[in-house]
Amino acid sequence: MARLFFALWPDLPARQALAAHGERLARLAGGRPVPASRLHLTLVFLGEIEPPRIDSLREAAQEVEANRFGMALDEIGSFRHARVAWAGLRKPSPALLTLQAALAGNLARRGIELEPRPFAPHLTLVRGIGETMAREEIQAVQWTAKTFSLVETRRAGGGYDTVADWSLRESSV
Ligand code: 2AM
C-alpha cells in the first residue's frame, strides 16, 4: 500500500518565499516549519491505496482537461485542531477550483473513495504550532501552475516522492 495524494508543487522562487514565511511564523507561534523542498498544495488526499488502484488514479488524472493558471497565495492563517499554519488564497481561484473539481470527479467516477469534506485550498507552512494566529494578508507568492502531481508520502523521514506529473493545457486565448 502506498500513501498518496494529488498536489501542486510551487516553483523554486515560490518555495523559497513560502519557506521564509514558515520560518517567521514558527518563530512567532512555535512548531516546525516545513522545509522548502516539501511545500505543496494538496488537491485531493487519497490515503492508503492498493497498488492495483494506482492505474485508476493515473487514468483519472490523464483525463483532466484544465488550463495552466496563475497561483497567488496572499493570506496566512492557521487551523486550530490540526495545529498547522498555512498560506492560502483570500479569493478562491476559479481555475484552481476547476482543476480540483475535475480531478475529484474523475476519481469518484472510478470508485476512488474521497474525503467528504469540501476542498479548502491551503499550503501547510508550519506543523505543530503552539498557538493559533489571526489571518494575515501577505504580498502574494505567485507561480504558474503548469503541472499537477501524484505524490507518495515516504514511510520514514517525512519526505515525499512524486510518482507522476500531468501537464495542464496552455490556454488557447
Ligand atoms: P495538511 O498539509 O493540511 O496536513 C499529505 O499528507 C497531504 O495531504 C498534506 O498536504 C495534508 O494536508 C493532506 N491531507 C488532507 N487530508 C489529510 C488527512 N486526512 N490525513 C493526512 N493528510 C491529509
Query: Can you tell me the distance from the alpha carbon of 62 to that of 85, in angstroms, rounded to the nearest whole number?
Result: 32
Count up the domains in the chain and report the number: 1
Cell of 127: 506543523
Taking a C-beta distance cutoff of 8 angstroms, is the pair 73, 22 a contact? no
Mutate to test the pocket of ligand 1, among 3, 4, 5 (most ligand atoms within 8 A of CB): 5
CATH number at residue 28: 3.90.1140.10
Answer whether residue 172 is part of any domain: no
Does 149 sit in the ligand 1 pocket, CB within 6 Å? no
Closest residue to atom 10 of ligand 1, CA basis: 42
> Is residue 42 domain-resident?
yes
pLDDT tens digits, the chain, 173 residues: what are they? 999 999 999 999 999 999 999 999 999 999 999 999 999 999 999 999 999 999 999 999 999 999 999 999 999 999 999 999 999 999 989 999 999 999 999 999 999 999 999 999 999 999 999 999 999 999 999 999 999 999 999 999 889 999 999 999 997 65
Residue 112's domain comprises 2-167
- Residue 122 is a catalytic residue: yes
Residue 173 lies in a domain: no
In a domain, 139, yes or no: yes
